[in-house]
Chain A
Amino acid sequence: MEVKADTTVCIGAGMCALTVPDVFDQSEDDGTVVVLRSPVPPELEDAVRRAVTLCPSGAISAS
Chain B
Amino acid sequence: MSDLTLPIDRQRPLDPPDEIAELSRQAPMHRLRYADGHLGWLVTGYAAARAVLADPRFSNRPEKMHPAIPARAELAQKGGFRLPPGMFLRTDPPEHTRYRKLLTGQFTVRRMKMLEPRIEEITNACLDDMEAAGGPVDLVQAFALPIPSLVICELLGVPYEDRARFHEDAKVLVNLETKAEDALAALASTMGYLHGLIQRKRKEPGDDLLSGLIEGGDLNDEELTGVAFLLLVAGHETTANMLGLGTYALLTNPGQLAAMRDDPAVVDNGVEELLRYLTIIHLGPFRLALEDLEIEGNLIKAGEMVAVSLPAANRDPSRFPGGETLDVTRPAGGHMTFGHGIHQCLGQQLARAEMRIAYPALLRRFPGLRLAVTPEEVPMRSHMSIYGVHRLPVTW
Q: Name the residue on A nearest B112 (C-beta).
A: A14
| Contact residue among B54, B102, B106, B344 (Cβ-Cβ distance under 8 Å from A13) | B344
User: CA separation between A54 and B337, bound complex, in Å?
Assistant: 12
CA distance A30 to B186 in the complex (A): 32
Q: Does A39 contact B (CB under 8 A)?
A: no
The reply to whether A11 and B349 contact each other, CB–CB distance below 8 Å, is no
**Whole-angstrom CA separation of A53 from B46 in the bound complex:** 13
Given contacts A11-B100, A56-B54, contact A28 B109 (CB under 8 A): no
Within 8 A of A (CB), among B87-131: 100-110
B98: min CB distance to chain A, Å = 11
In the complex, per-residue mask of B324-366: 1 if CB is within 8 Å of any chain A CB, else 0: 0000000001100011111011101100100000000000000
> Given that A54-B334, A56-B54 are known contacts, is A14 also in contact with B107, CB under 8 Å in the complex?
yes
| CB of A61 closer than 8 Å to a CB of B | no
From known contacts A12-B100, A30-B101, infer whether A56 and B339 are also in contact, taking CB-CB under 8 Å: yes
Interface string of A40-63 (1 = CB under 8 A from B): 000000000010011011100000
Residue pair A12, B107 in contact (C-beta under 8 Å): yes
User: Which residues on the B side are within 8 Å of A31 (C-beta)?
Assistant: 103-108
Contacts of B102 in A (CB 8 A): 30
Q: Which residues of A contact B108 (CB under 8 A)?
A: 12, 14, 17, 26, 28, 31
Question: Shortest CB–CB separation between residue B343 and chain A, in angstroms?
Answer: 8
Closest beta carbon of chain A to B124's beta carbon, Å: 25
Answer whether A17 and B344 are a contact pair too, CB < 8 Å, given A11-B100, A30-B101: no
A13 to B350, CA, bound (A): 11
A18 touching B109 by the CB < 8 A rule? yes
**Closest residue of A by beta carbon distance from B340:** A56
In the complex the two chains form, what is the Cα distance from A28 to B104 in whole Å? Answer: 9
Min CB distance B190 to A, Å, is 26
Docked pose: A19 CA to B348 CA in angstroms: 14
List residues of B whose CB falls within 8 A of some A CB. 53-54, 100-110, 333-334, 338-342, 344-346, 348-349, 352
Could you show 6 A-B contacts with beta carbons less than 8 Å apart? A13-B346, A25-B110, A27-B105, A28-B105, A30-B101, A56-B54
- Beyond contacts A18-B109, A27-B105, A28-B105: 7 other A-B pairs, Cβ-Cβ < 8 A, are A12-B104, A13-B338, A14-B108, A26-B109, A28-B108, A30-B104, A31-B108
